[in-house]
Amino acid sequence: MIPLLAAESGGGFELPPIDHLFVFPAWFDDGLFGEGSILAFNRTSFLYLLAALITIGLVVAAFGNPKVVPGKLQAGMEAGVDFVKNSIIGAIIGPEGYRYLPLLFSLFIFIFVNNLFEVLPFINFPPTSRMALPAVLSLMIYFLFIFVGIKAQGPKYFWNAVSVPGVPKAMLLLIVPIEFVSTFLLRPFTLAVRLFANMMAGHILLTVVFLASNYSLVDFHSLYEGGVPEIAAHGWIQFALGIPIFVGAIALVGFEILVGSLQAYIFTMLAAVYISGSLSPDH
């Protein structure tokens, strides 16, 4: 009732267009990194670089000068390495996968830092919610697992990847196209879309709940107090509606931290699964 009245008298709660949440203008007007160039440098590019620097900085600070009795940072990072080594590589690939530990660990930390940018004050934007970064990371994994497969099994890898041993010859006519599409076309696509869509959905969700609570608790009252009297008299209803929204918004920040770390884990784990599928021919 109250929001309806507010909407009729101009104003009202409006969400910004979706582009305003994800597309940022370039920092420079012209030149190589300017507006319109393929290398245009904007907030997203800056956050990519920042995440890479943080990843490098964390690893160098923790392991550049290792101590026998680890400090807080070194102990924390060692727990991370142990997690990737035992719960991801050890459980999925086995001991022969330890050579991929540096790649998978830095991948995990890099995606984790990118996802945490969503809830970091004054940044509040996950760069993984633009398709560029997930696409490049998943293409990297795509070429890696094909390369690993060719190296481990030779040219027979392509046949092993699309066929299933022990089925009748006639069934292969059906199985080979399906397996080909799912392994070589859908794998990189879903790997990228999974990370991208999760972070994009989280960013939209947080934007909606925080804008709604800001509108109900602050903007509504500054807009209508002293304006239309019948709306101002009912301002407390809008305020009471805003309190559960704000509490829910704070809970959703915690939920987004969970989603961000889970997505970093799942991306790393799927990369390990794809590598392990290329290392041995059986399905």
Partner 1 sequence: MDLMILAQEAVVTESTTNLANGLVYGLAAIGPGIGIGYLVGHAVEAMARQPEAASLVSTNMFLGIAFTEALALLGFVLAFII
Binding positions for partner 1, rule: CB under 8 A: 18, 87, 91-92, 190, 193-194, 196-198, 200-201, 262, 265-266, 269-270, 273
What are the tokens at 164? 């299933």
Euclidean distance between CA atoms 5 and 223, whole angstroms: 13
Minimal distance, residue 69 CB to partner 1, in Å = 29
Terminal-residue alpha carbon distance, the chain: 59
- Of 212, 249, 203, nearest to 18 by C-alpha is 203
Q: Tokens 């794998």 identify what position?
A: 187
Q: Tokens 């290398």 identify what position?
A: 39
Please say which residue, 194 or 234, places its beta carbon nearer to partner 1.
194
Minimal distance, residue 182 CB to partner 1, in Å = 10
Please say which residue, 26 or 252, places its beta carbon nearer to partner 1.
252
Please say which residue, 18 or 73, places its beta carbon nearer to partner 1.
18
Sequence-separated (6 or more) residues with CB below 8 Å from residue 98: 85, 89
Euclidean distance between CA atoms 280 and 160, whole angstroms: 9
Please say which residue, 146 or 197, places its beta carbon nearer to partner 1.
197
Minimal distance, residue 198 CB to partner 1, in Å = 7
49 and 127 in contact (C-beta within 8 Å)?
no
Minimal distance, residue 270 CB to partner 1, in Å = 6
Please say which residue, 162 or 187, places its beta carbon nearer to partner 1.
187
Minimal distance, residue 218 CB to partner 1, in Å = 29
- Of 108, 126, 250, nearest to 199 by C-alpha is 126
